[in-house]
Amino acid sequence: MSQNYNAAMLALGQAPSVIRETFEYGNRRAKEIGRENVFDFSLGNPSVPTPQSVQDTICRLVNTCDPIALHGYTSAIGAESVRAAIAANLNERFDARLSAADLYMTCGAAASLTITLHAILNPEDECMTFAPFFPEYRVFAEKTGATFTVIPADTDSFQMNLEAFEKMISEKTKAVIINTPNNPTGVVYTEENLNALCKLLREKSAAYGHPIYLIADEPYRELVYDDSTVVPYLTKLYDNTFVCYSYSKSLSLPGDRIGYIVVSPKMEDNRTMYAAVCGAGRSLGFVCAPSMMQQVIAENLGITADLNVYRKNRDLLYNALTEYGFRCIYPDGAFYLFVQALEDDAKAFCQKAREMELLLVPSDSFGCEGFVRLSYCVSTEMIERSLPAFKKLAESYR
């Protein structure tokens, strides 16, 4: 007889999350010394409110729509009109050449990823990603029964390490997850780096005689701070691409759980792969994406929360920390700063930082040692108040 529970699920439920542990320490500490004296850079939650137009749309729909339709099921794949509107917006912005039939609405980024992974992976397959990476990728991929392999980081540029990738890819490789702008580094992969990856994927697909799918996890697509930085639309660079998107960051709606999957129309056996996505969504229990939020999104396409706040925070923090002698990866996007720890052990460095009331996340859980992640989706004022502590931290290592 098996155990009373599923052991893998229990292990996940009991696994301590460093990020959450840090956040909870911060709450306890705030009670002891006052919230204004704790500098919590642990959580990646939007700190900018959703646009007023989103708020207005919610109330307008509630006051004007048939409630049975507004709060009723859409079709499992999402409302046709919503999918058509999103496709049109992506076509306008990126010349993406999508139609409503290429989109599948989801309950946010995590759902986009798990549905895609379950649609394509079998237990004998391998899914790869590039370090440093969002740690839930491993949880999501391993739930399918497939193997999850991490390609070591290029700790100079934090672009994808394609040299290591070429050595590690094998006939078992079925999917590669990429995340640009990247959590936890904030780095935007260059077009050159992306093109080189896609070229390799094409060559290896041909050599192994089966498609290798590219899964682009893009919740930070709109969070790019330098006008010259381009985040290419991946379906244009590589045919066998799934794009996983969420409005959590761009519209500051993480709690409302709304996003989508794009199954590239140029994908081999596109309709078959789309059907596999539908089957995976059904079997995991995602019946339809939140229906009122589908309508809200469709009426707020092309709008974002005020992302200038993040740009300002990025500049403030990056400039100060480099001035104090920290080595930081320059972040073009997302809302994270990846900073080299001032000793080999990033966890010990984070403990030292705590003595100065700075709450940072060690990079180990992102698959890359010796760094710390700072989330700068916090108030600008807290960053300003925290700077003397960072200065003191740097000095303590001299």
- Considering only residues 203 to 262 of the shown chain, the ones binding its own copies according to CB under 8 A are 208-211, 252-257
Q: Tell me whether residue 191 or residue 306 sits nearer to its own copies (CB atom).
A: 306
Quote the CA–CA distance of 254 and 237 in Å, as a whole number.
Answer: 29
Question: What is the x/- site pattern for its own copies, positions 3-42, by CB under 8 A?
Answer: xxxxxxxxxxxxx---------------------------
Quote the CA–CA distance of 45 and 47 in Å, as a whole number.
Answer: 6
| Burial environment of residue 32 by CB neighbours within 10 A (0 to 12, 13 to 18, 19 or more) | exposed
- We find the least distance from the C-beta atom of residue 47 to its own copies, in angstroms, to be 7
Does the footprint of its own copies cover residue 307 (CB under 8 A)? no
According to DSSP, the residues that pair with 374 across neighbouring strands are: 337
The residue range among 134-142, 182-190, 321-329, 351-359 that interacts with its own copies, by the rule CB under 8 A, is 134-142
Going by C-beta distance under 8 Å and a sequence separation of 6 or more, which residues neighbour residue 177? 113, 127, 128, 129, 133, 137, 141, 215, 217
- We find the least distance from the C-beta atom of residue 398 to its own copies, in angstroms, to be 38
Segment 317 to 376, residues that bind its own copies, using CB under 8 A: none
Does the footprint of its own copies cover residue 83 (CB under 8 A)? no
Does the footprint of its own copies cover residue 118 (CB under 8 A)? yes
Amino acid at 6: N
Q: What is the DSSP letter of 239?
A: S
What does each C-alpha distance from 362 to 79, 215, 368 come to in angstroms? 42, 26, 9
Quote the CA–CA distance of 268 and 281 in Å, as a whole number.
Answer: 20
Q: Which of 27, 37, 99, 272 binds its own copies (CB under 8 A)?
A: 272
Does the footprint of its own copies cover residue 114 (CB under 8 A)? yes
Segment 43 to 82, residues that bind its own copies, using CB under 8 A: 45-50, 55, 58-59, 62-63, 66-68, 70-74
Q: Which of 53, 88, 136, 316 binds its own copies (CB under 8 A)?
A: 136
Q: How many residues bind its own copies (CB under 8 A)?
A: 90
Amino acid at 264: S
Q: Which residues of 342-366 are buried (b: 16+ CB within 10 A; e: fewer)?
A: beeebeebbebbbeebbbbbbbbbb
Quote the CA–CA distance of 284 and 113 in Å, as a whole number.
Answer: 12
- We find the least distance from the C-beta atom of residue 5 to its own copies, in angstroms, to be 4
According to DSSP, the residues that pair with 173 across neighbouring strands are: 126
Does the footprint of its own copies cover residue 176 (CB under 8 A)? no
Does the footprint of its own copies cover residue 308 (CB under 8 A)? no
Q: Which of 36, 80, 92, 171 binds its own copies (CB under 8 A)?
A: 171
Q: Which of 25, 88, 101, 143 binds its own copies (CB under 8 A)?
A: 143
Radius of gyration, CA atoms only, the chain:
21
- We find the least distance from the C-beta atom of residue 391 to its own copies, in angstroms, to be 29
Q: Which residue has the tokens 């990603």?
A: 129
Does the footprint of its own copies cover residue 139 (CB under 8 A)? yes
Residues in the chain, total: 398
The residue range among 142-150, 327-335, 337-345, 355-363 that interacts with its own copies, by the rule CB under 8 A, is 142-150
